[in-house]
Structures are given as C-alpha cells and as structure tokens.
Structure 1
Amino acid sequence: MGPRSRAQGRSWRGSKLPRRLFYVATDEEIKSGKATDIYFIRTKRILEAKGLDKVRVVAEVTPSKLPERWPWAILCGTEEVARLFEGIPIDVYSMPEGTLFFTRDRKGLRVPVMFIEGPYGDFCVYETPMLGLLCQATGVATKAARVKKAAGDCLVVSFGTRRMHPALAPMIDRAAYIGGLDAVSNVVGAEAIGQKPVGTMPHALIIVMGDQVRAWKAFDEVVEPDVPRVALVDTYYDEKVEAIMAAEALGKKLFAVRLDTPGSRRGDFAEIIREVRWELDIRGYKHVKIFLSGGLDEYSIPRLKKAGAEAFGVGTSISNAPVVDFAMDIVEIGGRPCAKRGKLGGKKQLWRCWDCMADLVAPFGHE
C-alpha cells in the first residue's frame, strides 16, 4: 500500500470522517441535500437569514452543446430526479424519460428539458445532485442509442460496468437499456430494469479449465439450458480454428462464437470475421452466430456488421460516454421574467412537430 493521503480520515472541518466501506454517497445523504456544493448550502443560509428563502422562482434546465458534435441526445435520469424531489413542495415539469431532444429549436433558441417551480430555498441545495443525475445518465443513454442505431437489428449487450465504480452499475445499465440496447450483463444492472442478465464466458474459465473444449463442454453441462451457448474462441489458437473446435464440440447447441480480439493483436478484425464465417459455413454451421466484443463503438460496428458479425458486447465506449452538460438557471422570480446574461427570461414550453421532428420554444401559455 502507498502512503496515506494527508486528507485521509479528516473532514474539511477537521473532525473524524464517517467510515465508509465504499466511497459513495448514501441515499440519505443525497436526499438530505448533503451531496451538494457548499455554496448552495451557504446560499440557503443567507436567504433564510434575510427572509427570502420562500421567494417563488421558475428554474429551467437546458443543455449546452452536445459532445462529439452529436446532433441529438436521449434524456435520461428524470425518474431519479423525481425521487430526489419527492416530499419537497415544488412542481417539476419534464420531458419524459427516454425522449430524443435537441439543444436548440428551429429558431436557434435553447430547448428546456425540465423546469422547476417553487420556493427557491426549498430546492436550491439539490441543483448539484439533480444535474449529476441527468448529465451522466443522458450521456450513457445517448451513446447507447448511437451504438444500437449503428448495429441495426443485431443484438447489442451492455458490457461496460466493469469500467466504472460498481455502485454505478444499475444507473449505467438502466441508461444503456433506455438508450436502446437489447440486454445487459451485470446482475444488479439487470435487476434495475427487470430483465435477466446476458453474458458469455471469460477467458479465465478456459485458462483454469486448462482446455478450451473442456471449458465449453463444462459450460454446457452446468449452466441452465435456457442460457444461449456462446463459446469464447480466441484464448490460445487462431480464431477460426477455435471456432471450428467449438462448433464440433457443441454442434447444434452452439448459439454463437465470441471474438474478443484485442486491438494490440495484428490483423484486420473484419477479415478475421470473414474467415470465421466462411469456415463455419462450409462445415454446415451456418446457425452459429458471430458475437464480437472489445473496443467497439458506433464508428467501428457498421464495418464489422458488414463483414458478418451478428451480435455485439459494447463496454467502455458506453459506460465511459461523455456527459451531456446541462445547466439550471432561474428565469422567473415572483411571476416576473428574469435571467442572467446569455439566458432567456420567463417560463417556457416546447412544441414539437413529430412528423418533421422540429421544435419550437414559446412563452408558457402561448400557442
């Protein structure tokens, strides 16, 4: 173990920190408003001291420009925002979870995805957790939607929770599912969406078993029969060689062969897929699908799909998706429009033409 940080074991007030098994905020800490930036707590104290904490405001949530020049995004996290605000005397209006949205309407005005109406002192401390709930989940859902759009009718499974803190697994897999992925591999992630987890087998199983065929047959003997048999075929030998071995070992029970060829390996991944597909087909194993994983995203999938891949396990590019930058701004105080520089005052509503997918932002109550 390395040297301890000077900050370890002490809070910013100098008192002993509460012991945590894992460094995540508890539900109680989030709901109480503790998981916020200190300036919101000080703002609340100042407003209470000056008798202004019950001033009614309208605050709207809008996206800034989207990452990587995305033309659209998928809103996610609104259900958690609703839970965050449960019991607080405010009204929250939002686009539904899973809605595709744009940053600007047809006139170039910022598109609000949510607005909050109520006494500012009652909800000011929740700005930090609220934005966090929206920003990351929306990024994951949007990346998942882009990946699924690239894959078309091919199966896409979320494999990315191992790249993030395990406490985030339910959020990541739920957002990926809302974005359009077909399944998730994480057990608690699957529980969060009411689905069964979907997965294959790790290289570790084959290595510990000491032999590919033994591992594939052991999987078939032990694992429930309703779980598709997907053999990992790139542990020791050439992918097409192991694919043939797996097909001969499991026959019609084999659903797919999985290629997890790392980028450090020399060779063209698409060419490897074509070789595997050819060798399986000429031996009568046309029913065996090719399942890919390892460094995939929406840019690499179309070429690999064209080469013959029929299923994808996508991990890091989804779980580590860039966040969508939302901001919350007060746009009305005591029924009067107001806004900081660069923002538009007044409560607004959004109109959408679903045929042409064009938005129009208008003052609230105007048609």
Structure 2
Amino acid sequence: MFHTASDADIKAGEVSDVYFQRTVEILQARGDRKRVKAEIYLKSLPEDWHWGVLAGIEEAAALLDGVPVDVRAMDEGTVFAPYQPVLTLEGVYVDWAQYETALLGLLCQASGIASNAFVGGCDGVAVTKSAELIDADPTGTIPHSLVLMVGDTVEALKAFHEVIEPKVRRVALIDTLQDEKFEAIRVAEALGKDLFAVRLDTPSSRRGDLYRIVEEVRWELNLRGFEHVKIVASGGIDEYEILRLNPVVDSYGVGTSIANAPVLNFALDIMEIEGRPMAKRGKWSGAKDVLRRRGTLETVVQPAGTPAPAGGPWDALLKPLVTRGRVARDLPPPRTIRDFVLDQLAGVPLDTIRRQGLRRDF
C-alpha cells in the first residue's frame, strides 16, 4: 500500500482538516446556507523569489467539478506576485468548505515545483511516467550503476551505444571511477561524432571548484577537436548554481531542487458573505478583479466591477474555471502551458522580475 490519498478520498473531502468538517456540521445544524465569496492568494514568496508560476489549476478544476460552486482562476502557468488573487470561489459555504485543504495543497505544491522548474529552464523529465503525463519522451544519460556493473566508463558507454536506439542521445557519465578530464578524453575518442555530451555528477566531497573542473574538461575536448561535445552538470544543482555555471555548462540535470522546491504558502479567505464585504482582520474585504497590462507583467488588483485604469489595454487574469459545478473551459496541454510561461518571461532576466505595477496589500 502507498501512503497517499486516492482520487475518491480527495473528491469525498476525506483529506479535509477536521475543523472544516466540524464547521460544516455546525452550520448545517443551524440551517446556515449563506453564500460567500472567497479568494486564494499569498502574502510572500519563498527565499528571494520575486514571482511565482501558477500550477495546479487543472487539478483544482477536477477537484471542484461537480461541486455547486462558481470558480474564477488565472490560467495555468500565469506568472504572479504576492497579493494577487489567483483563484476565487463563490457559492454556499457548506457546499465547498471541506475542499479547502485539498485545494490549497494542490496549488501550493504544484506552484512551488513549477516556479523552481521554470527558474532553472527545465526542458524535459527523466521519469517514464512523468514524460507520459506531459506527452514527451523521457530524457536521461547513464547512471553510475551501469559504469560500476560493467567496470569501465568507456565499455559502459559502448554497451549503451550498441543496445539503446540511435534516437537517444549518447551522454557519457565521466566521474564514476577516474579523473573527469581523462575520462572525457577517453569517451570522446571512443565514440567520436556520436558522442553528444559528457556529464559531471561529481560529489561535493571530491568536487573542488566545479566551474574550474568544467573549464578544464572543455579545454581538453576542444584541443582534440571535440568542440561538438556538450557538457552537462548534475548533482546538487539549483537555480543559483545554474547562474554561476552558465558560462561553461550547456545543460543541467536537476532533481532535488525541483522535487523539494519550497511550497508556495497560499491561503484561502472569505471576502464577502451574502453580498456584503466581510473578511478577517488584516484582509481587505470584497470581491476583486486582477488586471494585467497587455504585453507586460504590470498587474493591478482592484474591487470587482470597477473600471480598468487608464493606459490599457488591460486583460482580466481571473477567468471562469468552474460554473455551477461544471468545468467551464478547456485546459491546455503541458507544452502549451510551458510556451505560455516562457513567453511571459521573454527578455526578462530571471533574477530581476520585481513585484511590478500597482500593488495593494489585501
């Protein structure tokens, strides 16, 4: 048995915090069927992040499909900043209250991972099932275990070359048994033009300055006419190390920094009850619209239904997702979402996007 909730458990509200279940029980006993409007947003981002990438909208739609509620949400892959509502709900509170825990969990984890993946420029995945879900071919190189089982780096690469279909790029792992420089030369001479790249996964205990090691490997390969061979770095790589290594490294293998990315701390708060603005202390009550100046990341949050600021055109970021309990729009495939994210970030240095535009602390 895997210790994860089933789809049926989640749809049944079984992953709700118990105080939501008790709240629903109390309100039902009182005959309370008041309609509310609520919104999901965050006050801050992890570490020194200045923006996030919204993810989990497809799962949120699946969760709320069949629940008598109206939902507006930003598109999957929208770049957003703190204090910008990313999803709103309207309906009888007791009809959807038990889904708050699951809804936040889906958005928090997915958005944290998506933000870190796109900060690093993620181009593919290595896990077979993950690739299937995004309609892509899995990518990968050679593990240390293959080199150890064969007993030699070059022989392991030759075995890979003989057995694995030609469309898979030949990338040699060069740090298992010997010095990276000499292993790089050996595998390049063995495969020649068929060698696509060499990968350094050197553990920190033996690494020294990885930048200098890669420079040395690059020099020796170029000196011998192997300029076509690219260099891949992996092992403890995060977005900060990528920025440092970019001048000498062509590609990166990143696992932990994406899978264990900081969770984005979304919160869900009631903003209106029966059409009357009502929120807890520290929140700005009332329903809101989120507008973005077309072609920019300049964003304004304002009371719902008020005219857009001058200087448009402005696009509404919150769009119908679920209407009267039914999913209201088609959701794009992962590759389309990725293109959308990269289009938003085009021409903007990854470390300089600030919380732009008109900001209000709701």
- TM norm. shorter chain > 0.5: yes
1:328/1:75 Cα in 2 relative to 1: closer, same or farther (>3 Å)?
A: same
Paired residue for 2:190?
249
Paired residue for 1:203?
144
Paired residue for 1:366?
306
1:33 Cα offset (Å): 0.4
Aligned residues: 307
Code of the aligned partner of 1:330: I
Paired residue for 2:4?
24
The alignment's C-alpha RMSD in Å is 1.0
For 1:88-114, what per-residue CA distance to the aligned partner results, in whole angstroms no more than 9, with x for missing partners?
A: 1111100100000011xxxxxx32111
Residue 76 (structure 2) pairs with residue 97 (structure 1):
yes
Distance in 2, Cα, partners of 1:208 & 1:123: 54
Distance in 2, Cα, partners of 1:31 & 1:130: 11
Paired residue for 1:316?
256
Code of the aligned partner of 2:103: M
Larger RCO, structure (CA 8 Å, separation 6 or more)? 2
Residue 218 (structure 2) pairs with residue 277 (structure 1):
yes
Distance in 2, Cα, partners of 1:331 & 1:74: 24
Paired residue for 2:113?
140
1:210 Cα offset (Å): 1.4
Distance in 2, Cα, partners of 1:35 & 1:72: 29
For 1:23-43, what per-residue CA distance to the aligned partner results, in whole angstroms no more than 9, with x for missing partners?
A: 110110011100111111111
Task: Please give the secondary structure, in 2, of the residue aligned with 1:265.
Answer: helix
Distance in 1, Cα, partners of 2:48 & 2:150: 46
Distance in 1, Cα, partners of 2:252 & 2:78: 24
Residue 64 (structure 2) pairs with residue 64 (structure 1):
no
Taking the TM superposition and a 5 Å limit, the aligned residue runs for 1:1-367 are 21-52=1-32, 54-103=33-82, 110-148=83-121, 181-306=122-247, 308-367=248-307
1:223 Cα offset (Å): 0.6
TM-score, normalization: structure 2? 0.83
1:266 Cα offset (Å): 4.4
TM-score, normalization: structure 1? 0.82
1:336 Cα offset (Å): 1.1
Code of the aligned partner of 1:43: T
Paired residue for 2:356?
none
1:302 Cα offset (Å): 2.3
1:262/1:354 Cα in 2 relative to 1: closer, same or farther (>3 Å)?
A: farther
1:69 Cα offset (Å): 2.5
For 1:189-213, what per-residue CA distance to the aligned partner results, in whole angstroms no more than 9, with x for missing partners?
A: 1111111110001000010111212
Paired residue for 1:11?
none
- Unaligned segments of structure 1, at least 5 residues: 1-20, 104-109, 149-180
Task: Please give the secondary structure, in 2, of the residue aligned with 1:279.
Answer: helix
Distance in 1, Cα, partners of 2:297 & 2:167: 41
Distance in 2, Cα, partners of 1:76 & 1:89: 23
Task: Please give the secondary structure, in 2, of the residue aligned with 1:328.
Answer: strand
Code of the aligned partner of 1:260: D
Task: Please give the secondary structure, in 2, of the residue aligned with 1:67.
Answer: coil
For 1:220-270, what per-residue CA distance to the aligned partner results, in whole angstroms no more than 9, with x for missing partners?
A: 011111000001001111001001111111111100001101111142101
1:355 Cα offset (Å): 4.3
Distance in 2, Cα, partners of 1:264 & 1:297: 18
- Unaligned segments of structure 2, at least 5 residues: 308-362
**What is the percentage of aligned positions where both structures have the same residue?**
54
For 1:301-346, what per-residue CA distance to the aligned partner results, in whole angstroms no more than 9, with x for missing partners?
A: 122121x210111111111111111110111111111111011111
